[in-house]
Structure 1
Amino acid sequence: MLLQASVRLSCGTDRKRNGLNSKTKSVLVLVIRGRRGVSDTCRDRNHLTHWLELVTTTCPPSRTCSYNMTAAACWVSCAAAVLLCLLLPATQASGDVVDVGFDLLFESNTVELSDVPITFDSALPTWLTGTLVRNGLGLFENGDRSFLHAFDGFAKLTSWRFLGNGSVFFSTRFLASSFYNDSMTSASIAPYLLFDSVSPSFTFLERMKAIYHGIDNMNANVVRLPRDDGGYDYLALSDFWKVYEIFPDRLGTGTAVTSPLKGSHGTLLNNLFLNLLSSAHPLPEPRTDKHLTFLSSISVLPWIPSRMQLVRVVSTSQREVVASWEVERVAYMHSFSVTQTHALLLAHPMYVNVPCMITRVTPFDCLDWRPDITPGTLYVVNLQSGEVTSLTMDTVVFTMHHINAFNLQTEGQIILDLSAYPDPKFVASLRLSILRDPSRRNNFPVHTSLLRFLVDLRAKTVRQVLTPPQQPSLDFVSRLDMPSINECFRARKYCFVYGVVVKMDNSTLSKVAIVKRDVCGLGRDRAWLVPNHYPVEPLFVPNPQGLEEDDGVVLVPMIDGPARRSYLAVLDAHNLVLVAKSYLPTVVPYSLHGHFFEEIV
């Protein structure tokens, strides 16, 4: 017979319940299920410290003390429950929450703030002046509807403005896109094209409206482009050709821009293509003041091939084709690489299913993983001549983020570094039903690998090669994603990449590390981790007077799970030691990418 008992204890309840003065409530929930083990807080008998911390963790307001007892009796009961946790078999039941506070990453926050002063607990480098602007997710439902996938969350911009004298100001505002404004007006999720569907689903008429409205939620990144007058334009963007102008000094939203493409197809032929997919990570073109990106032009007629185009971004409204080539299938690509002479676009075998897109109107359902057709194609484009070399990969990979690429001294040879997965299964795991389930989210695959490829344009080959060795004590540092490098070393030989390692212990999301990987193999790997603290993409900011590649700081937005608060961590980029941190006046949900703009103070 299954023994089941529940004990709910609260140590230090408020005066209204038992006459105590404590303003905090602490709770320990113990559910005993005989020999099958325990769930909730009694997960691991070896984690005594963890359980003692739980006894003094502040509870959500909805939790109350189940028993009216003196403070001494309450603490004795809590201690007894902890002891019982240690003595019982240590197994994990499905109800365990082992990643305390992780849920805040994907919990809506409608708060908007402008120029709120924040205080760091230690002095900041005086050279750190400028504004960190990040783009990401802020709202996952509106009115009667909810998004199904995290990638569809309403775009929310967040900024930290560093004056260089110790003063820092924090702001956060939603991107006021047409999609956002129409949704707020209708008190629902307005019918626009999304990555996945919504619940309740759009009606047939709404799906037709979504096709008409197109993509409008630019929630992935921000970029700076030069203007002819010497100033800059700033854009919010995602994996699509359309972008939004933004004003980072006040996080304002300008107009939507869908740039005409000089040197592309004529007007009639353009109508037969969906100029839809692009990169969320435009890159500076070496030795110029221009940028590069790509455009996937999807043919709507089966007898006309789709096309890939490498695009030179002269300004926000002026773009020109560097190279254009036909493709049998259009691959979904998030980023790419450049060297001093070439651009490298990896078309891994995740292809857009055009008939599906036309009928279902949800890209997520219409991306086919087909490694049986090809292991993938690497397109290498000469930036000067526009010549395109197509190379078949020797390894099947799926990548969201290129790290860097550079030319070797041997003519025609290039090194390409990627954060790569064996397949795209983790994308499906980013559905909100999984991310909000403590059991399911700790079971989905998250590990990536830093992979290095040698591209030989003369031999027309691309093959995976070994990366320089990592330190044995830090054998997890190569499992990084969300990579960041010193941008002064973009398209050049480099040594350091910073990133995030999820499930550092190969077990739970409670251990997410910020890492520094030395790809030159000189033993300078580093890692920084606080259990149940959740970082997003780290961003390297160089010391303008620095002489070394890693002379600077790494800025990391974090969530303190036990405290249920957000903060910004400033790490020394050389050794990943915490320099300072500042808690924020509101929680910042998951942000994807950002940039540091030193000219905005």
Structure 2
Amino acid sequence: MVEGDLQLSVPQPEFFDKSPMHTPSKVLKNLDLLSVNGLFVPKPQYSPSNASTAHSSLVHSPAVRRFHTQTKELRRKSVVSGEIPSWINGSLLRNGPGSIKVGDMIFNHLFDASALLHRFNIVGGKVTYQCRFLKSETYKKNLAANRIVVSEFGTSSVPDPCQSIFEKVATLFKPAEANSDNAMISIYPFNDEYFAFTESPIIHQIDPETLETLDKVNLSDEIGIVNHTSHPHVMPDGTVFNLGMSVSKSGPAYNIICFPQGERMFENARIVAEVPTRWKLHPSYMHTFGITENFFIIVEQPLTVSVPAVIKSQLTNEPMISCLKWFPDKLTYIYLIDRDSGELKFTFHAEAFFYLHIINQFEKDDHVVLDISCYRDPEMLNCMYIDSMKDMQNNPDYAKMFRGRPLRFVLPLNRPKKPKSLTSLKIFFSKSLEDPNDASDVIDNNNLVMLKDSEAAAFSMPDGSVFCKPELLCDLGCETPRINYEKNLGLDYQFFYAISSDVDLENPGTLIKVDVKKKTKLTWCENNCYPSEPIFVQTPESQDEDDGVILASLVWGNGDENRVGLLVLDAKTMTEIGRCEFKDLPGPFYTFVEFPVIHQINPTTLETENTVKVLKYVKGLVYHTSHPHVMPDGTVFNLGLSVSLTGPKYKIFGLKTGEKCFENAQIVAEVPVRWKFNPGYMHTFGVTENFFIIVEQPLTISVAVKLKKNFKKTTVSELMKWSPKENCRFCVVNRQTGKVEYEFESEAFTYFHIINQYEKDNHIVIDICCLSDASVLNKLYLESIKELEKESDLLKITLAKPFRFVLPLCNVKILSCKENENLVTLPNTKASAYVKSSNGMIFCVPEPLSDSRCELPRINYENYLGKEYKFVYGVSFEKDNSNSLIKIDVVNKTSILWTESNCYPSEPIFVPSPNSKSEDDGIVLAALLWGGNYEKRVGLLVLNAVTMKELGRCEFRNMPSPVPKCFHGWFAR
């Protein structure tokens, strides 16, 4: 076997195969990841050290949902069913993989994804949810480069051509700086501060309320370790212990580190125990350790980290997983270290097994009992490659490779002075771990385990060592195990909670409660629903070990990927008490301008997170509108302009919701421009149930002017050309075929915004904020605005008024009509359309919807886009001393204004009420600015959308500098 190769072919013992083998259930073909490990943080009246601390566990995603790269950060309120107990007041913090993609690059392994923090805040039976990326140095470097530039557990980074061989060698002496600090495993409290962990010695402080990344601590600088486990132990007094590894001239050693409770926990950290590794060039891979009243417990498994491979990987840019070496023929060593002296007191041996998580450990009657979630080998790490998880449906051995079981080892502290048996180890290896108690049938009288009701065994060997055989605690795989940590860490206990690791169960996302004394179990499951690691939270006056609740976050598959929830179970019965769900979580947020480059932003922090060159995915695209349409199913349509040898064309392209929405962009319609060297300027377009609508105005972008200037740098405004003698053209494009089915004309006008459009009785109604010419563009130069003598002069540049065009969907070629005959047959409209004798086109005459000026129009977009509607909201200039917000009733042609002296509102955003019954049942939100001496003031206005009366506002005064006006926005739920 090549060193570091984990593609193993080790025979699987029957013990791990008791469940009938079959292909994982069909819901397993997709995967989504919500979180890995968690921590319940009570409200401040509880000491953080007494919180239900999560020594949480590594991701066991019951590989189950649509595999999804999480790219959003958000905050949402929930819908609660059942009852969330009122005594639960605090936050469930979780950590786990968020995004498996950086730019066009995909991470290979589950443990590589960018860390995403989650918070479920529970107060008075109500729950809010938010998530935010951990701003590690790795995350920031990858984001800045828009590719993977730091190697992870299973993914190599893009080689740095500027890094010399000497610089690569230098990184060997600074492992903390050279390796990834993507802390995506767990969260633990140190005093009153909270830190995100991975196995790198760099931990990140986070804000438990905002999830912001506050600071980082390099433990390599503090105590000289090169790595540590992701699962420290937090003691009742707030002291924290962890297991790390250091390297010295004598070779690598395992170190127990103590962080004493207090304000300077890291500065005062010290190593309290040290154990040399069994093999100097192959220290064991450690993910957790154990602690009892008198002992630290280190389980040295034969999955090791090859030091030569690590050196090689630094020079050849290989991922961490290439450095792991499995020794299937070597024993597992269990070390008991005295907590007072730091001395190694006892060593026990066991068969080779792989593990990630110790369930619990305790001392009893001169024995140490150690419960571990065991696997026959580390093949399950290979199961967590992204491609393996996606292809699990086609791999009949996948469930077999993931098979593990919770086992109990009992370590006798009293040993005979002389071995009672001279039996060779071969007799034990003739018995498999799946039959852990059969050895007692062979030499029962030599069993050193004297604990009552224990089926585990231990035997003294000829060389003086003690060999341990475990007993089975449960016949289901149990991962991410949790106990009543606050009361039972390191003490005799009865119950633990876990997720089933048997991915071939009918419901792979099964939560399990195991009674370790009676060897019984209770389960909770729901079809197509996949819970996270269960967190036990005890009741305020608990008396029994299982007096409390189980908290688990929920995700769903098969069509419910944009759904997340929080489950609350009775910890005694494993029955559901209540839950909250957050449905229709939004996708990533992007900023749009008319050039084909858009920027992904964080809606919580407003940081720019990514840049997408749309022209890369839509061939020939040179610009697109700033107003794409987002459909109810999440599909996004936009109108753009492309240029090819055959001339420019308008293109409508669609982006379907999903992981590769841009890569899977589709052109759904192409329409040749009217004038080849003068395509129309487009700022928006229309969409109805059956049609796209392109309104080609005679304000054009002159290709000829660009050519005339010999491709010198020119501004867009220099290329704009207004042709008042040309008509506007309306192109009605069939959404199914992508073909132009109808064309209409009207008098020349220019516009920025279409209000809405809909189909009715074989007509298309389209409402537009129209300007009589394009002079507004010149009036928007900053120098022109500065020259305005008084606010009433704003009327000169805001002349847009709302007009309604009605387009009759009829075929004029077969239509016999009289001259000037109105083809519009809709009732209650003054708009008209007739056939022009000069060119046979249908010429449309609009009707005004209001005498008031209206720009930046917004409707109840969520419910009325492309449908018949009644109300539009916009910004208006109606009085000499102010600008206003306006609500226009397009049916009755009436309007309502909101205005305030010296106050300038932004584009109004309509937000429907949760149970709205009428179109205008909701609120209007608008940002506020002030002039004169109040230009460093900004506010948020809330209006009743029915009456346009103010419901409330908030103001932020004395800003550091004047706040500029904004154009468009979006309400992010």
Q: Fold conserved (TM > 0.5)?
A: yes
Q: What's 1:4 paired with? A: none
Q: 1:500 to 1:250 in 2, by over 3 A?
A: same
What residue identity is the alignment partner of 1:313? F
Q: Once the two structures are aligned, what percentage of the paired residues are identical?
A: 25
Q: 1:204 to 1:307 in 2, by over 3 A?
A: farther
Q: 1:214 to 1:98 in 2, by over 3 A?
A: closer
Q: What's 1:463 paired with? A: 468
2:534 aligned with 1:560: no
What residue identity is the alignment partner of 1:196? G
2:239 aligned with 1:290: yes
Q: Distance between the aligned counterparts of 2:28 and 2:585, measured in 1?
A: 17
What residue identity is the alignment partner of 2:259? V
2:543 aligned with 1:547: yes
Q: 2:113 aligns with which of 153, 158, 165?
A: 153
Q: Distance between the aligned counterparts of 1:441 and 1:133, measured in 2?
A: 34
Q: 1:188 to 1:462 in 2, by over 3 A?
A: same
How far is the alpha carbon of 1:276 from its aligned partner? 2.1
Q: SS of the residue aligned with 1:195?
A: coil
Q: Distance between the aligned counterparts of 2:130 and 2:336, measured in 1?
A: 41
Q: What's 1:45 paired with? A: none
Q: SS of the residue aligned with 1:323?
A: strand
- Structure 1 segment 57-456 matched on structure 2, within 5 A: 97-99=26-28, 101-103=30-32, 104=65, 106-114=67-75, 116-163=76-123, 165-190=124-149, 192-198=150-156, 205=163, 212-226=177-191, 232-259=192-219, 275-285=225-235, 288-298=237-247, 304-314=250-260, 315-327=265-277, 328=279, 329-361=282-314, 362-372=319-329, 374-410=330-366, 413-440=367-394, 443-444=397-398, 445-456=401-412
Q: What's 2:510 paired with? A: 513
Q: 1:105 to 1:355 in 2, by over 3 A?
A: farther
- 1:261 and 1:319 in contact (8 A); partners too: no
Q: Distance between the aligned counterparts of 2:164 and 2:241, measured in 1?
A: 35
Q: 1:386 to 1:219 in 2, by over 3 A?
A: same
- 1:434 and 1:440 in contact (8 A); partners too: no
Higher relative contact order (CA 8 A, sep 6+): 1
How far is the alpha carbon of 1:152 from its aligned partner? 0.6
Q: Distance between the aligned counterparts of 1:587 and 1:480, measured in 2?
A: 30
- 2:115 and 2:183 in contact (8 A); partners too: yes
Q: Distance between the aligned counterparts of 1:196 and 1:335, measured in 2?
A: 20
Q: SS of the residue aligned with 2:299?
A: strand
Q: Which whole-Å deviations, capped at 9, do the CAs of 1:77-119 have from their partners, x for residues lacking one?
A: xxxxxxxxxxxxxxx999x9443653546411111113x2212
Q: What's 2:805 paired with? A: none
- 1:99 and 1:532 in contact (8 A); partners too: no
- 1:100 and 1:532 in contact (8 A); partners too: no
How far is the alpha carbon of 1:386 from its aligned partner? 0.8
Q: Distance between the aligned counterparts of 1:184 and 1:203, measured in 2?
A: 19
Q: Distance between the aligned counterparts of 2:544 and 2:551, measured in 1?
A: 18
How far is the alpha carbon of 1:240 from its aligned partner? 2.4
Q: 1:439 to 1:204 in 2, by over 3 A?
A: farther
Q: What's 1:485 paired with? A: 483
Q: Distance between the aligned counterparts of 1:343 and 1:365, measured in 2?
A: 30
- Structure 1 segment 47-58 matched on structure 2, within 5 A: none
How far is the alpha carbon of 1:248 from its aligned partner? 1.0
Q: Distance between the aligned counterparts of 1:446 and 1:98, measured in 2?
A: 17
Q: Which whole-Å deviations, capped at 9, do the CAs of 1:445-464 have from their partners, x for residues lacking one?
A: 21211110111233263513
Q: Distance between the aligned counterparts of 2:328 and 2:392, measured in 1?
A: 32
- 2:29 and 2:391 in contact (8 A); partners too: no
Q: Distance between the aligned counterparts of 1:385 and 1:288, measured in 2?
A: 20
Q: What's 1:529 paired with? A: 525
- 2:404 and 2:501 in contact (8 A); partners too: no
- 1:377 and 1:390 in contact (8 A); partners too: no
Q: Which whole-Å deviations, capped at 9, do the CAs of 1:118-146 have from their partners, x for residues lacking one?
A: 12112111111111000000001111322
Instruction: Tell me how many residue pairs correspond in the alignment.
Output: 463
- 1:260 and 1:317 in contact (8 A); partners too: no
Q: What's 2:569 paired with? A: 571
Q: Distance between the aligned counterparts of 2:153 and 2:585, measured in 1?
A: 25
- 1:566 and 1:584 in contact (8 A); partners too: yes
Q: Which whole-Å deviations, capped at 9, do the CAs of 1:319-363 have from their partners, x for residues lacking one?
A: 111111322231001011111111111010011111111112422
- 2:98 and 2:114 in contact (8 A); partners too: yes
Q: 1:588 to 1:436 in 2, by over 3 A?
A: farther
How far is the alpha carbon of 1:167 from its aligned partner? 2.0
Q: SS of the residue aligned with 1:416?
A: strand
Q: SS of the residue aligned with 1:99?
A: helix
Q: What's 1:47 paired with? A: none
- 1:241 and 1:278 in contact (8 A); partners too: yes
What residue identity is the alignment partner of 1:282? P
TM-score (norm 1): 0.72
- 1:149 and 1:430 in contact (8 A); partners too: yes
Q: Distance between the aligned counterparts of 1:370 and 1:202, measured in 2?
A: 34
How far is the alpha carbon of 1:432 from its aligned partner? 0.6
Q: 1:441 to 1:545 in 2, by over 3 A?
A: farther
Q: Distance between the aligned counterparts of 1:538 and 1:105, measured in 2?
A: 21
Q: SS of the residue aligned with 2:120?
A: strand
- 2:305 and 2:324 in contact (8 A); partners too: yes
How far is the alpha carbon of 1:509 from its aligned partner? 7.5
- 2:551 and 2:567 in contact (8 A); partners too: yes
What residue identity is the alignment partner of 2:183? M
Q: Distance between the aligned counterparts of 1:140 and 1:552, measured in 2?
A: 35
| Bigger-Rg structure (1/2) | 2
How far is the alpha carbon of 1:259 from its aligned partner? 2.8
Q: SS of the residue aligned with 2:350?
A: coil
Q: 1:98 to 1:113 in 2, by over 3 A?
A: closer
Q: 1:276 to 1:193 in 2, by over 3 A?
A: farther
How far is the alpha carbon of 1:518 from its aligned partner? 0.1
Q: Please, which runs of 5 or more residues in structure 1 have no aligned partner?
A: 1-91, 227-231, 265-269, 590-601
Q: What's 2:826 paired with? A: none
Q: 1:233 to 1:98 in 2, by over 3 A?
A: closer
- 2:355 and 2:375 in contact (8 A); partners too: yes
- 1:259 and 1:318 in contact (8 A); partners too: no
Q: 1:522 to 1:500 in 2, by over 3 A?
A: closer
Q: SS of the residue aligned with 2:219?
A: coil
How far is the alpha carbon of 1:309 from its aligned partner? 0.7
TM-score (norm 2): 0.45
Q: What's 2:579 paired with? A: 581
